[in-house]
Amino acid sequence: MHFVRQRPAIRTAKRSAPDRGSGRPRRGFIPTPKGGGLVPFESSLGADLLKSMAADPFVASIRAQPETFVWRDAVDGRRHRYTPDLLAVMTDGSKVYRSVRPNALLLRDTELRGRRTRIELECALRGAAFEIWTEREIREATCGWPLLRVATGAEASLLANLPLEVDSEASPAAPPKLVLRIADRLGLRGPLQAGDVFFARSMLTGILMAFRCRLVRDPVTGLLVWKPEPRET
């Protein structure tokens, strides 16, 4: 009689796959005192965003995968969960949860498998905003449009501190209808003006964007027309 010696089964720990498929897999750490030493990332896009946040003087602290939102669907009773990639606390005390996702994947699934409204609600309940950063916001300063770019930390802080009273000279006045139409074409919601720049959040990513929209009166028709600012060299 022959006995066959079997090898013991090798058990490996299960690791949950990233929810967002955020670019080429690449794990590592970014050293920054804003994250208490080393902040982990799981993709090349995540690494680039972390580097940008570490260098941003208006970001006070960074936490990677700060918490998992868990809730049960009120209709079908199914349990859902979502873990943002990062939590940033700004120098003015505001908070924002950020997730990283390739632009092509976000365009195919803008609602994050039907969870986006609840994710935004969970963030709002914690006094924070929710943003999705793609390679366009992380790596392209103008996001493909000469007039459109991500708002700087200084601009976001200035806008947050502006009074909302219409009578105040420093308050952002209601924009002209033409600006509202342009913002709608650009996928922006709720534009407000500060100086010669308009600000609005992207309906796709939730990121605060800045766009110049100079209105001039056409000498022939007398109508207000939009004249974009020339690209800076």
pLDDT > 70? residue 185? yes
Rg (CA), the chain: 22
At residue 215 the predicted structure's pLDDT band, cuts being 50, 70 and 90, is low
At residue 45 the predicted structure's pLDDT band, cuts being 50, 70 and 90, is very high
Residues 6+ apart with CB under 8 A from 116: 110
- Give the range among 84-98, 130-144, 214-228 with minimum mean pLDDT: 214-228
The string of DSSP codes covering 21-83 is --SSEEEEEEEEGGGTEEEEEEEHHHHHHHHHHHH-TTEEEEEES---EEEE-TTT--EEEE-
pLDDT at residue 229 in the model: 55
pLDDT at residue 133 in the model: 94
At residue 146 the predicted structure's pLDDT band, cuts being 50, 70 and 90, is low
At residue 177 the predicted structure's pLDDT band, cuts being 50, 70 and 90, is confident
**Contact (CB, 8 A) for 97 and 130:** yes
Angle 151-157-159 from CA coordinates, rounded to 5°: 75
What mean pLDDT comes out for the span 115-136?
94
- Give the range among 4-13, 60-69, 114-123 with minimum mean pLDDT: 4-13
- Give the range among 4-8, 26-30, 57-61, 203-207 with minimum mean pLDDT: 4-8
pLDDT > 70? residue 96? yes
Nearest to 52 by CA among 150, 156, 121: 150
pTM attached to this predicted model? 0.73
At residue 98 the predicted structure's pLDDT band, cuts being 50, 70 and 90, is very high
What mean pLDDT comes out for the span 105-116?
94
What mean pLDDT comes out for the span 62-83?
93
pLDDT at residue 17 in the model: 43
